[in-house]
C-alpha cells in the first residue's frame, strides 16, 4: 500500500426526526384498530360517530393531526434550507459560466459549420465530376471498338454488374488540441397547429386550472365551471383549528 493515502471525508448521515407532542398517534392507532380486522387489516364496518364523546375524540385527533402536518412541513423546509441554499449558489455559479461558454459556442459554430459544409460540397462535386468523366470514357471506348459478332453484341448489351458506391463517413477534422469536429445531422421540430396536437403531447397545468377555478363565481362553480374539458364539482371536508 502506498505511503501517501488519499484522505476521504465521509459525510455523516442525515438524521431528522419529528415526533408529534402527546399521544396523538397512539390514540389514533387505538381508535383505528377497533375498525379493522386484526389479521387482514380491512375495515370491519363503516365508521360512524354516534355520541358527542366520540365526535369530540375524533374531531380533536383530526385537528391535531392537521396541525402536526403543518409543523412537519415547517421543520422539513427549515432542515432543507441550508442544502437548498448551497445548491442554489452552485447552480448560479454554473449558470454564469455556462452562459459565457455558450457565447463562445454560438460565435464559433457558424463559421466551423460553413467550412465543413463547403468541404463536403466540394467533395460531392469532385465525385460527380469523376463519375461523369468515367461515363464519357466508357462511351468513347464503345464508339472506337470494332464491329462485334452477334454473340459479342448480346454480351455487350447485357446490363453491367451493379457497382457499389461506398459512401465515406463524414470527414472529421482535428483541432490543435486533439479535438475532432465533423458535421452531424439532428432533427428538430416546430409546432404549426397546436389545436391538432394529440392529447398525450399536451401538458395539463393543474396550477393554472386551480387558479381559474378559484377565480370563478359561485354560480359558475355550481354550473360545472366554464373551462372546456374540465368539470368543476364540490368536495365536502372539515375545517379544523387548534387553539
Domain with 59 in it: 24-155
Burial of 212 per CB tally in 10 Å (0-12, 13-18, 19+): middle
- 121-139 tens-digit pLDDT: 998 999 999 999 999 888 8
CB atoms within 10 A of CB 240: 14
197 versus 148: the higher-pLDDT residue is 197
Question: Can you tell me the distance from the alpha carbon of 62 to that of 53, in angstroms, rounded to the nearest whole number?
Answer: 14
Residue 58 within any structural domain of the chain: yes
Residue 191 within any structural domain of the chain: no
Question: Can you tell me the distance from the alpha carbon of 71 to that of 22, in angstroms, rounded to the nearest whole number?
Answer: 14
**What pLDDT score does 126 carry?**
92
**What pLDDT score does 176 carry?**
63
Residue 156, classed as helix, strand or coil, is helix
Residue 145 within any structural domain of the chain: yes
For 159-174, b where at least 16 C-beta lie within 10 A, e where not — what string?
eeeeeeeeeeeeeeee
Question: Can you tell me the distance from the alpha carbon of 224 to that of 92, in angstroms, rounded to the nearest whole number?
Answer: 45
DSSP E strands, the chain: 173-174, 180-181
Element (H, E) at 55: helix 52-144
Mean pLDDT value across residues 225-233:
91
Residue 187 within any structural domain of the chain: no
Assess whether pLDDT exceeds 60 at residue 153. no
Cβ atoms of 110 and 116 within 8 Å: the answer is: no
What percent of the chain is modeled with pLDDT above 90? Answer: 24
Cβ atoms of 225 and 217 within 8 Å: the answer is: no
pLDDT category of residue 3 using cuts at 50, 70 and 90: very low
Residue 131 within any structural domain of the chain: yes
Cβ atoms of 174 and 108 within 8 Å: the answer is: no
C-alpha distances in Å from residue 81, one per residue of 20, 74, 84, 87, 88: 21, 11, 5, 10, 10
Residue 235 within any structural domain of the chain: no
For 106-130, b where at least 16 C-beta lie within 10 A, e where not — what string?
eeeeeeeeeebeeeeeeeeeeeeee
Assess whether pLDDT exceeds 70 at residue 84. yes
Residue 132 within any structural domain of the chain: yes
Mean pLDDT value across residues 35-60:
73
Secondary structure in 3-state letters for 192-226: CCHHHCCHHHCCCCHHHHHHHHHCCCHHHHHCCCC
C-alpha distances in Å from residue 157, one per residue of 91, 131, 141, 160, 238: 72, 21, 15, 9, 94
Amino acid at each position: 500500500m502506498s505511503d501517501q493515502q488519499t484522505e476521504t471525508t465521509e459525510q455523516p448521515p442525515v438524521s431528522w426526526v419529528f415526533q408529534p407532542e402527546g399521544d396523538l398517534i397512539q390514540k389514533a392507532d387505538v381508535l383505528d384498530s377497533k375498525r379493522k380486522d386484526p389479521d387482514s387489516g380491512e375495515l370491519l364496518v363503516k365508521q360512524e360517530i354516534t355520541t358527542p364523546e366520540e365526535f369530540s375524540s375524533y374531531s380533536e385527533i383530526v385537528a391535531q393531526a392537521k396541525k402536526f402536518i403543518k409543523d412537519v412541513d415547517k421543520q422539513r423546509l427549515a432542515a432543507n434550507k441550508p442544502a437548498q441554499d448551497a445548491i442554489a449558489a452552485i447552480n448560479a455559479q454554473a449558470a454564469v459560466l455556462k452562459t459565457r461558454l455558450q457565447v463562445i459556442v454560438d460565435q464559433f459554430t457558424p463559421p466551423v459549420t460553413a467550412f465543413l459544409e463547403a468541404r463536403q460540397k466540394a467533395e460531392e462535386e469532385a465525385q460527380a465530376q469523376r463519375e461523369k468523366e468515367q461515363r464519357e470514357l466508357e462511351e468513347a471506348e464503345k464508339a472506337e471498338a470494332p464491329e462485334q459478332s452477334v454473340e459479342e453484341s448480346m454480351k455487350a448489351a447485357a446490363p453491367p454488374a451493379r457497382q457499389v458506391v461506398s459512401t465515406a463517413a463524414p470527414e472529421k477534422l482535428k483541432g490543435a488540441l486533439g479535438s475532432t469536429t465533423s458535421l452531424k445531422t439532428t432533427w428538430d421540430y416546430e409546432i404549426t397547429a397546436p389545436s391538432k396536437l394529440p392529447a398525450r403531447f399536451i401538458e395539463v397545468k393543474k396550477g393554472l386550472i386551480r387558479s381559474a377555478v378559484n377565480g370563478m363565481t359561485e354560480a359558475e362553480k355550481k354550473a360545472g365551471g366554464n373551462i372546456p374539458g374540465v368539470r368543476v364539482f364540490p368536495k365536502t371536508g372539515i375545517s379544523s383549528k387548534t387553539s
